[in-house]
Amino acid sequence: MSLAVDAQPTPVPAVPAPAVTVPAVAGARLTVPLVTGERVPYANLDHAASAPCLDAVQDAVNELLPWYASVHRGAGFASKVSTAAYEQARDVVRRFVGGRRTDTVVFTRNTTDSLNLLARSLPSGTSVVLFDTEHHAALLPWRGPRVTRIRTPRAAGDAVLALDAALADCPVGPRLVVLTGASNVTGELWPVADLAAVARRHGARVVLDAAQLAPHRPVDIRALDVDYVALSGHKLYAPFGAGALVGRRDWLQAAPPYLAGGGATASVTEHRDHLGVSWASAPERHEAGSPNVVGVHAMAVACATLSRHGWDAITAHEQALFARLLDGLERLPQVRPLRLFEGGDRVGVLSFVVDGIDAGLLAAVLSAEHGIGVRDGLFCAHVATRRLLAGTGTGQQRAVRVSLGLGTTAEHIDRLLGALRSILTDGPRVDYHVVDGRWEPVTDGRELPPFVAI
């Protein structure tokens, strides 16, 4: 397979590599096999799906594990240690998102869980307004006749006007606006503060999906003037199964428990024909069952590490690499990046299509022949991605997403650009076919590590 391209070699982008130091991640020295039989350092360009574990988080988890025990109500010393770590994490996460002293921190599994919890906690008759290009985590939990989905315009300023008009048409009663901090498809930053100001004028509360924003930029509930923030540990370099919903207590306190069970109850009494239940106050009210103390501790350590290191260095690292990526892609006319808005700031996330090559095949070739991990598909944002794909006029049904993070290096970017040039010029080196909906090398001798088969 060969795609026509300028045969002249494209020079490495002139953008300088970052010279700042950022927190170290586990797996930075990971090598992976290629179909050619070689091993190369892994170029992880899939941070937006799940970020690798910070070294500091891995160390903190190893330190806690010998003390791991039940959380709350345990008299044993190990239980007291685990409980202290769990409750201390609430304050760390609250401060990480600039929460108010009175804000409640409910620990969940991830952003999806957090937004579903909030959806279950809305007062009766609440109107919900959101843009239709949200990630499924923010798009799907809200159901019913009082949900308004706004078609996302091509300019961020127009989004502000569209929200103002939608809220003006809402019926009387409680209102909630659902916003995204940064798109997981294009990396674009939404004008959250401007949109929140519109919501305030209409007496609406605001929940911010910060899953893609929090790993890249500081989040501040008070500065943005939002009421709730939802985020995931696995996006924040703490892949141990924890997330959080941080925000105003009243709706959460008044709502029935998200799950019924131990830990969410203050008292259960037996009556002749039923059980009498007195529920605990929020946040415990929505944390039934044995909590994920290891995941919560890991998330808190990640938040503390990022805050302590400083956002200036983290942002500078990412933006230098992202500029290097953009400069290189601009030299490849077959590559068509996707964008929601015209102009505007963005984090290190970029999706694109390539003329004449399926996104799934491209991702498979990058992995099998170059040791590069990217994402292909619709990225759990089907409405947004399909609309953007239609705008390219290529007929492509899926896109490729490249997402940067603390583990990304200039060599990773240059390897990706070189791999794209090679694929566009000469095509894949080996044959590929589709197996269970995914492209795979026809002959693939790469073996998974032994622990996977245990």
Task: Tell me the DSSP string of 180-222.
Answer: ESB-TTT-BBP-HHHHHHHHHHTT-EEEEE-TTTTTTS---HH
Active site positions, annotated: 380
Compute how many other C-beta atoms are within 10 angstroms of the C-beta atom of residue 291. Answer: 19
Long-range Cβ contact pairs of 29-38 (< 8 A, separation 24 or more): 31/371, 32/371, 33/445, 33/446, 33/447, 34/368, 34/369, 34/370, 34/371, 34/446, 35/368, 35/369, 35/429, 35/430, 35/441, 35/443, 35/444, 35/445, 35/446, 36/369, 36/429, 37/445
120, 123, 127, 130: CA torsion to nearest 10: -40
135's tokens: 């990630």
According to DSSP, the β-strands at 375-377 and 399-403 are: antiparallel
Q: What is the CA radius of gyration of the chain?
A: 23
116, 228 contact by CB (below 8 A):
no
Which residue in this structure is represented by tokens 């069952």? Answer: 289
